[in-house]
Amino acid sequence: MPVARSWVCRKTYVTPRRPFEKSRLHQGLKRIGEYGLRNKREVWRVKFTLAKIRKAARGLLTLDEKDPRRLHASRSRWLIWKLLYTVFTRGPRG
């Protein structure tokens, strides 16, 4: 019997506003070679993921110091873990 699944499909990357900007193209190729990525979409995906993490961090920092959401240690630990996992475990390959 089939199992009902609720999958939310959403875009995992955002394309640049200026696709043929010379400095951005060179920077993208440099990152592809440095980190062993397959294509530009993977560069955009990492950039989008880091932007979401930074947005969540900014949201936490703008809250009042006594706000329960800011004081909630598990959420803060999750954000720090996510940032460290994303940045440092996927470092340069070789």
DSSP codes, 18-74: STT-HHHHHHHHHHHHHHT-SSHHHHHHHHHHHHHHHHHHHHHHHS-TT-HHHH-HH
> Is residue 16 included in any domain, yes or no?
no
How many domains in the chain? 1
> Is residue 12 included in any domain, yes or no?
no
CB 43 within 8 A of CB 37: yes
Whether the model clears a pTM of 0.75, i.e. scores above it, the answer is: no
> Is residue 9 included in any domain, yes or no?
no
Return the pLDDT at 61. Answer: 78
Return the pLDDT at 59. Answer: 82
Return the pLDDT at 94. Answer: 42
Range of 57's domain? 22-89
> Is residue 5 included in any domain, yes or no?
no
Say what percent of the chain tops pLDDT 70: 80
Q: Tens of pLDDT along 32-62?
A: 999 888 999 999 998 998 888 888 878 877 8
Q: Which has more confidence, 91 or 72?
A: 72
